[in-house]
Amino acid sequence: MKILVTGSAGFIGFHLTKYLLERGDIVVGLDNINDYYDVNLKYGRLSEAGITRESVSLKKYSISSKYPNYSFVQADLSDLQYLKEICEIEKFDVICNLAAQAGVRYSLINPQAYIDSNIQGFLNILECCRDNQIKHLVYASSSSVYGLNDEMPFSESHKTDRPISLYAATKKSNELMAHTYSHLFNFQTTGLRFFTVYGPWGRPDMALFSFTDRILKGLPISIYNNGEMRRDFTYIDDIVDGIVKVIDGPISLGTFDKTPSSESLSSVYNIGRGMPVNLMDFISELESCLGINCIKELMPMQDGDVAQTWADIENMRSRFNYNPKYSLQIGVKAFIDWYKNYYNIQSIAQ
Ligand SMILES: NC(=O)c1ccc[n+]([C@@H]2O[C@H](COP(=O)([O-])OP(=O)(O)OC[C@H]3O[C@@H](n4cnc5c(N)ncnc54)[C@H](O)[C@@H]3O)[C@@H](O)[C@H]2O)c1
C-alpha cells in the first residue's frame, strides 16, 4: 500500500511509520516539525528512520537512507495547495492523519494552534481525500472526547457532547467532520480514540516523560487531584498494532466504488489497554523501575482534565481482533531503557 502518514516526526506517527516501512508499505511522511516540544526529539525520530536533519527542507522530499520506501517532507496541514499537489502525484491508498496540536492543558494557553492544525488542517485533509478518491482516511481522535461522561468503561455508544477542553472539542469536531465527508463524498473514514499512549520516543509533555525527567533531576513531581486519578495507559506497540489492523481491514479498499451507506463508511473506535491504572500505582512502578523514591507534591485537579479514563475495547477486539498485550511493567521499563540510552544516563544514584 501507499500511505501518507501525517505527524510522522511525532511520537505515534514515528512508530507507525517504522512499522509500515518494515513490512514493505510505501510511506510518505509529512510533519511541520513545530516546536510545541523539543524539536531534537522529532529530528531524532526522523534520523532513526534514516532521514537526516540536514536533508529536511520545506516542501522538498528527503529519501530515507535506511528505507528506500520512505520519503519525508516538512509541510504544514494548513497548506492546502501543497497537500493537494502531493496527493495528486502520489495517489495514496490510505491517509493516516496523526498530525495535530496535541495536549489538553496547552489548549487553555494557545487555543488558536488547535483551530489551525486540528480544524483547518483536518478540513484540508478531508478535502484532499474528496478530490483524490482516497479510499480510507484513518485519523487520530482522543479519549478526551468523553469529557464529563462518568459512565465506565467509556464505550463508543456513549454520548460525547460534553468536552471540557478545546483540544477535546477539536477531536470531537473531527469525528463529526469525517462523518459528514464520508456521507457526502462516499469515502471511508475511521477515527481512533487513543487512550494515554506511552513508550520509547514518547512526548515530553506527558506524565511518564515529565515525571522521569523531574525525578532524575531530584525535583518534586506534581500529582493532580491529590492522586485520585486513573488512566487507561496504552503502550505504543499496542496502539500501532491497532492502527495497522484498522488500515488493513476488514474494510475492503474497494468500498469506495460500491456506494455503501454513510453509516458503514464512517466509524470511530476506542484504542486503549482496557485496564485503568491508579496514578499512584503508576508512580510506584516508575519509582521501582528507576530505583528512586520521588518527592511528591499533591495538587488540586487541573482545568480541562478528567479524573478517570477507561476504554471499552470490545468493538476493536471483535471487529479487528485487537488484543493489547503490553503490561505497565514491561512498558515502563521499555521507556526507561530508551530514556537512559537517549539521554546517555549511565547510572542512577539514589
Ligand atoms: N499520545 C497520546 O496519548 C494521544 C492520545 C490521544 C490522541 N492523540 C492524538 O494522536 C496524534 C498523535 O499524537 P502524538 O502523541 O504522536 O503527538 P505528537 O505531538 O508527538 O505528534 C504530532 C505531530 O504532528 C505535527 N504537527 C502538528 N501540527 C501540524 C500541522 N499543522 N502540520 C503538520 N504537522 C503538524 C507535530 O510537529 C508533531 O510531530 C495526535 O492527533 C494526538 O492528538 C495522542
Classify residue 291: in a domain, yes or no: no
Classify residue 51: in a domain, yes or no: yes
- Specify whether the CB–CB gap between 141 and 98 falls below 8 A: no
Query: How many CB atoms within 10 Å of residue 295?
Result: 11
At 235, the amino acid letter reads: Y
- The residue nearest atom 37 of ligand 1, judged by CA position, is 33
CA distance 72 to 55: 10
Q: What is the pLDDT of residues 273-305, one digit of tens each?
A: 999 999 999 999 999 999 999 999 999 999 989
Give the chain's end-to-end CA distance (angstroms, integer): 50
Which among 269, 273, 262 is positioned nearest to 243, based on CA atoms?
269
Q: What is the pLDDT of residues 192-220, one digit of tens each?
A: 999 999 999 999 999 999 999 999 999 99
Query: Is residue 67 lining ligand 1, measured as CB closer than 6 Å?
Result: no
Which residue segment(s) compose the domain that 95 sits in? 2-199+235-274+311-325
Classify residue 290: in a domain, yes or no: no
CA distance 319 to 326: 20
330 C-alpha vs ligand 1 centroid, how far in Å? 24
Classify residue 279: in a domain, yes or no: no
Q: Which three cell numbers stand for residue 194?
A: 487513543
CA distances from residue 294 to 110, 232, 253, 283, 338 in whole angstroms, order as listed:
31, 22, 51, 9, 20
Residue 35, C-beta contacts closer than 8 angstroms, at least 6 positions apart = none
Mean pLDDT of 122-146: 97
Residue 88's pLDDT band, with cuts at 50, 70 and 90, is very high
- The residue nearest atom 12 of ligand 1, judged by CA position, is 98
Q: What is the pLDDT of residues 151-192, one digit of tens each?
A: 999 999 999 999 999 999 999 999 999 999 999 999 999 999
Classify residue 212: in a domain, yes or no: no
Concerning whether 70 is annotated as a catalytic residue, the answer is no
At 2, the amino acid letter reads: K
pLDDT of residue 264: 76
CATH number, domain of 262, equals: 3.40.50.720
> Which is the catalytic residue, given 106, 114, 139, 167?
167
- Specify whether the CB–CB gap between 215 and 290 falls below 8 A: yes
Classify residue 252: in a domain, yes or no: yes
Model confidence at 256: pLDDT above 80: no
Query: Is residue 32 lining ligand 1, measured as CB closer than 6 Å?
Result: yes
Which among 335, 105, 316 is positioned nearest to 198, based on CA atoms?
335
Q: Which three cell numbers stand for residue 217?
A: 533531576
Classify residue 218: in a domain, yes or no: no
pLDDT of residue 259: 45
Classify residue 220: in a domain, yes or no: no
Count structural domains, the chain. 1
For residue 97, which atom of ligand 1 is closest to its CA? 41
Query: Is residue 142 lining ligand 1, measured as CB closer than 6 Å?
Result: yes
